[in-house]
C-alpha cells in the first residue's frame, strides 16, 4: 500500500501535455464524490504528474499502461469509498467498457489499454456527426476537439 496523501483534496485543473476537452475531465468537485466513472478517473490519474509511476500514456494515441495495478485499484477504491477494491474487480469494471467501445485491451501488452476517443465524443456529444469527417486513404479523419 502506498503512503501517498489523499489524492482528491479540492484539486485545481492542471493542464498536462495531454489536454482533453472539459467533458472528459468532469469537475473534481468533491473529494468523496462517488459520482465518477472509472474512465474519467483513469484520465484524472493520467494527466497528473505524480501518478506517472502508477499509470502513464504510451504507444499509440489514447494508449496507456497501468504500471502498478494494485495502486490504481487502491486509489479507485479510495475514490469510490470501497476499501476492498483490488485489480481483479477493477479489471472487471474496465471490461464493461469493451462492449461500449469506450476502451479496449491492447493485445499482447500486459496492463495496457486504449481509449476510443471518437466513441467518448459520441457518448458525451451525441449531436456531433462523426460521419461528416469522411475518410482519406482508408483512414478516418478525426474531429480535433483536443488542444
pLDDT score for 14: 38
134 and 141 Cβ atoms separated by less than 8 Å: yes
pLDDT of residue 81: 94
DSSP-assigned states of every residue in 96-137: HHHHHTSEEEPTTSTTEEEE-HHHHHHHH-TTS-GGGG-EET
pLDDT of residue 5: 53
pLDDT digits (tens, 9 = 90+) for 94-121: 999 999 889 999 999 999 999 988 777 6
**Domains of the chain, residue spans:** 48-116
- Give the separation between CA 96 and CA 146, rounded to whole angstroms: 25
Closest CA to 22 of 120, 111, 113: 120
**Residue entry with cell 465518477:** 36
Using one digit for the tens of pLDDT, what is the confidence trace for 40-96? 999 999 999 999 999 999 988 899 999 999 999 999 999 999 999 999 999 999 999
48-116, which class in CATH? Answer: mainly alpha
62 DSSP 8-state letter: T
Q: How far apart are CA 43 and CA 132, in angstroms?
A: 27
Per-residue pLDDT band at 122 (split at 50, 70, 90): low
**Mean pLDDT taken over the chain:** 75
Predicted confidence at residue 61, as pLDDT, reads 86
C-alpha cell at 38: 472509472
Question: pTM of whole model > 0.75?
Answer: no
Amino acid at each position: 500500500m502506498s503512503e501517498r496523501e489523499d489524492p482528491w483534496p479540492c484539486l485545481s485543473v492542471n493542464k498536462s501535455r495531454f489536454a482533453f476537452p472539459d467533458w472528459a475531465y468532469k469537475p473534481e468537485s468533491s473529494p468523496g464524490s462517488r459520482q465518477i466513472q472509472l474512465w474519467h478517473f483513469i484520465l484524472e490519474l493520467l494527466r497528473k504528474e505524480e501518478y506517472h509511476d502508477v499509470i502513464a500514456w504510451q504507444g499509440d494515441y489514447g494508449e496507456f499502461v497501468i504500471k502498478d495495478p494494485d495502486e490504481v485499484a487502491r486509489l479507485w477504491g479510495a475514490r469510490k469509498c470501497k476499501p476492498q477494491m483490488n485489480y481483479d474487480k477493477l479489471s472487471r469494471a474496465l471490461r464493461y467498457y469493451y462492449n461500449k467501445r469506450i476502451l479496449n485491451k491492447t493485445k499482447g501488452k500486459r496492463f495496457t489499454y486504449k481509449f476510443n476517443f471518437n466513441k467518448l465524443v459520441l457518448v458525451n456529444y451525441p449531436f456531433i456527426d462523426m460521419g461528416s469527417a469522411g475518410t482519406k486513404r482508408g483512414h478516418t479523419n478525426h474531429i480535433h476537439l483536443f488542444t
